[in-house]
Amino acid sequence: MFKAVLLFLSLLACRDAMAGEGRLIWYPGHTETGRFSAWEMVAPTAAATVILLPGGNGGLGNIGEDGPSNSNFLVRLRQSFANRGLNVLVMGKPRNSELPDADRLSAWHREDIESLARDAKARLGKPVWLVGTSAGTVSAIAAAIALDDGVLDGIVLTSSTLHPKQPGSPFHQRLEKIRQPVLMLHHQMDACWACEPWMASDAFERLTAARIKKLIMVEGGANPTGHPCEPFHWHGFIGMEDEAVRLIADWIKKPTN
């Protein structure tokens, strides 16, 4: 009850915190890490709400006149998700913490995701999906394992962290516990050592309890630059970002095997 009151006060306090095509919301969060933020964009006649979980150490970056500055695939494509008829909440990192894998697997992080998902479902009245990219898939998988269908309606895993050397790899999580629909989306040329696409099919086969599941391997795009694990390489669907978002949005609206 106390946390619910804090959340209500937080939402009131941020009502005028607008920039670009969205607004910044602060949530109470876990007592050990401090409150966390989310960037919200509400789409007219939205079919669902997506909670976008950025990779790396998480976060929105600086908030400028055009909104969050983080160049992560999901953060920079937030408008594309909204244009596809989805409400968008880009989850920021806790105020007093980064988000390495150990924290992405923690109970407090799952509780923060749950509070965001429950609030989104209550306020916006639409099915809620988690969409993670790279290290953000660690958070999405852990949350889907722990939370029931009444909280999450499905998850999307893009450029998943797959290598067994990563603590949050799906090979160290109980994928067989996930019941919600799951979409896995990878680029065939992703050269990030932790996310090599040939590992995706093995992880996909372990989703034995998922009611609906689909693995999509894409190709295309152009002009990858920078480190293979960074957002402007194949890892971030460079040159085909809008097509990647279209595939995700269309599947969320009508998930099929």
For residue 190, give its domain range: 2-7+24-253
For 103-141, write each residue's pLDDT tens digit.
999 999 999 999 999 999 999 999 999 999 999 999 999
In a domain, 17, yes or no: no
In a domain, 15, yes or no: no
Distance from C-alpha of 119 to C-alpha of 170, rounded to nearest angstrom: 27
In a domain, 14, yes or no: no
Q: Is the dihedral of CA 25, 181, 160, 230 positive or negative?
A: negative
- DSSP letter, residue 197: G
Place of tokens 């950025």: 54
Distance from C-alpha of 81 to C-alpha of 39, rounded to nearest angstrom: 13
In a domain, 249, yes or no: yes
In a domain, 13, yes or no: no
Structurally, the chain folds into a number of domains equal to: 1
Which residues on adjacent β-strands are paired with residue 166? Answer: none
Nearest Cα neighbor of 106 from 55, 140, 136, 142 is: 142
Strand, coil or helix: 131: strand
- DSSP letter, residue 226: S
In a domain, 114, yes or no: yes
In a domain, 19, yes or no: no
Pair 104, 25: CB distance under 8 Å = no
Angle, helices 107-124 vs 136-146, to 10°: value is 80
Place of tokens 């050990």: 32
Cβ partners under 8 Å of residue 159, min gap 6: 55, 73, 133, 134, 137, 185, 186, 187, 190, 192, 195, 235, 236, 237
If you compute the radius of gyration of the chain from its CA atoms, what whole number of angstroms results? 17
Full pLDDT tens readout for the chain, 257 residues: 434 434 443 444 343 333 348 999 999 987 777 899 999 999 989 999 999 999 998 989 899 988 999 999 999 999 999 999 999 999 998 876 788 888 999 999 999 999 999 999 999 999 999 999 999 999 999 999 999 878 999 999 999 999 999 889 999 999 999 999 999 999 999 999 999 899 999 999 999 999 999 999 999 999 999 999 999 999 999 999 999 999 999 999 999 99
pTM attached to this predicted model:
0.92
Pair 60, 68: CB distance under 8 Å = yes
CATH number, position 247 = 3.40.50.1820
What is the token pair recorded at 5?
């009151």
Nearest Cα neighbor of 67 from 78, 82, 54, 56 is: 78
